[in-house]
Amino acid sequence: MGFTSKIKTIEWTDNISRMIDQTILPHEFKTVDIKTCEEMFNAIKNMIVRGAPAIGIAGAHGISLAALELAKITSNKDEFIQLLKNKAEYLKSARPTAVNLMWAIDKQIEIAESTNSNIQTIVELIVKNGKKMELEDIEINKKLGDYGAEIIPKSATILTHCNAGALATVGYGTALGVIRSAYAKDHSIKVFADETRPRQQGARLTTFELTADGIDTTLITDGMCSYFMKKGMIDVVVVGADRIAANGDTANKIGTYTVAIAAKYHNVPFYIAAPLSTIDTNIKSGDEIIIEERDHNEVTTINGERVCADNVNIINPGFDVTPNELISGIITEAGILKPPYNVSIKNAFSTK
């Protein structure tokens, strides 16, 4: 297929992390070379790279960059590991909600702490592992995409929110991975993409990706989903996730919860598609998920122009939490998890 088979959202090459600049899509297609841990922090914070699995890999690459930098300033192993752990905390603070960032960084730190060798070997192992995680991400998405395709009815119209596509991962995508796998079997499927205010990942990124792959895509504004569900025009909803609690409560882009409520009311199945690395078994419910508060300019301005009164109050949470009872299933690389999620999630991790 056109877009995703050729380009990786983020790729480690010659000791740099090369990523697609998602802030300028779909008008311009450019890559940026990230050469330091600090540049990686800024790339994640400013959403040059975004989407839970993609920022996980960015975090892993960020630790690779930090390890390469720190190996030049100290030859004391204890000091190296302590400085690397400081960099890990710094990188994790770039964005708080998507757990993949913490998961990937912790995996890299585990290598540093468990390797009984010199600094040079630790650096090599970390760099190698960052690359391995990058490659595994695509395989995981293809696997979950194929499981998810099973729940897409023939000639279905699928609603999705935000961008859980190749651009939110290294390649192929999670929710859009399900759509890609379904499309490979049945070219008559259609997609409705919510524009996803305020940053418009649905309009800017999802329509860009899906139309490039030849998939029939209709862009709607966020408030339109219940209108089309009432008309019987949506057969199934598939969205991604930024963090899933042990009971299945799921944080995803702001507006997802509204879609889930509308889907329940209209008897439209509502699925989450995410790798197991998005499941945070350390938290019991969605109440414990930290929701990122984003820059208020995202709400007050459109294309750089202020669209509201000067003195109005602004709140801009980047994510919301969909309660588990609204979720028909969680599509993962280990299969489709069904309620009760505290049982199916536990089982998925015990057989991993």
Q: Which of 105, 162, 259, 334 binds ligand MRU (CB under 6 A)?
A: 162
Answer yes or no whether residue 4 interacts with ligand MRU by CB under 6 A.
no
Angstrom distance (rounded) from CA 190 to CA 45: 33
CB 335 within 8 A of CB 352: no
DSSP of 310-343, one letter per residue?
A: TT-----BSEEEE-GGG-SEEEETTEEE-SSHHH
Answer yes or no whether residue 148 interacts with ligand MRU by CB under 6 A.
no
Binding segment for ligand MRU (CB under 6 A), chosen from 105-113, 187-195, 237-245, 297-305, is: 237-245
Do you find a cis peptide bond into 323, omega within 30 degrees of 0?
no
Q: Is 225 exposed, middle or buried (0-12, 13-18, 19+ CB in 10 A)?
A: buried
- Per the annotation, the verdict on 21 as an active-site residue is no
Binding segment for ligand MRU (CB under 6 A), chosen from 6-14, 164-172, 230-238, 302-310, is: 164-172
Binding segment for ligand MRU (CB under 6 A), chosen from 50-58, 111-119, 320-328, 335-343, is: 50-58
Phi-psi region of 64 (alpha: psi -120 to 50; beta: other; left: phi over 0): alpha
DSSP of 248-293, one letter per residue?
A: --EEEETTHHHHHHHHHHTT--EEEE--GGGEETT-SSGGGPPPPB
Q: CB-side exposure of 5: number of CA atoms within 13 Å?
A: 6
Give Cα separations from 262 to 110, 228, 327, 328 (angstroms).
42, 10, 12, 13
Q: How far is the CB of 349 from ligand MRU (least distance, A)?
A: 20
- In the three-class reduction of DSSP (H, G, I as helix; E, B as strand; rest coil), residue 195 is classed as coil
Answer yes or no whether residue 241 interacts with ligand MRU by CB under 6 A.
yes
The 84-123 site mask, x for binding ligand MRU (CB under 6 A), equals --------------x-------------------------
Q: Which of 174, 200, 324, 344 binds ligand MRU (CB under 6 A)?
A: 174
Q: By CB under 6 A, what part of segment 291-320 binds ligand MRU?
A: 318
Active-site choice (194, 242, 280, 320): 242
Q: Tell me the β-bridge partners of 233.
A: none
Per the structure block, which two tokens stand in for 120? 């040079």
Angstrom distance (rounded) from CA 120 to CA 68: 9
DSSP of 96-122, one letter per residue?
A: SS-HHHHHHHHHHHHHHHH--S-HHHH
- Smaller CB distance to ligand MRU: residue 66 or 274? 274
Binding segment for ligand MRU (CB under 6 A), chosen from 51-59, 128-136, 151-159, 261-269, is: 51-59
- Residue corresponding to tokens 């991962």: 169
- Smaller CB distance to ligand MRU: residue 94 or 126? 94
Answer yes or no whether residue 164 interacts with ligand MRU by CB under 6 A.
yes
The 254-293 site mask, x for binding ligand MRU (CB under 6 A), equals ----------------------------------------
Q: Which of 71, 99, 168, 234 binds ligand MRU (CB under 6 A)?
A: 168
Q: How far is the CB of 336 from ligand MRU (least distance, A)?
A: 16
Enzyme catalytic residues: 242
Which residues of this protein are in contact with ligand MRU, per CB under 6 A? 50-53, 98, 162, 164, 168-169, 174, 201, 240-242, 252-253, 318
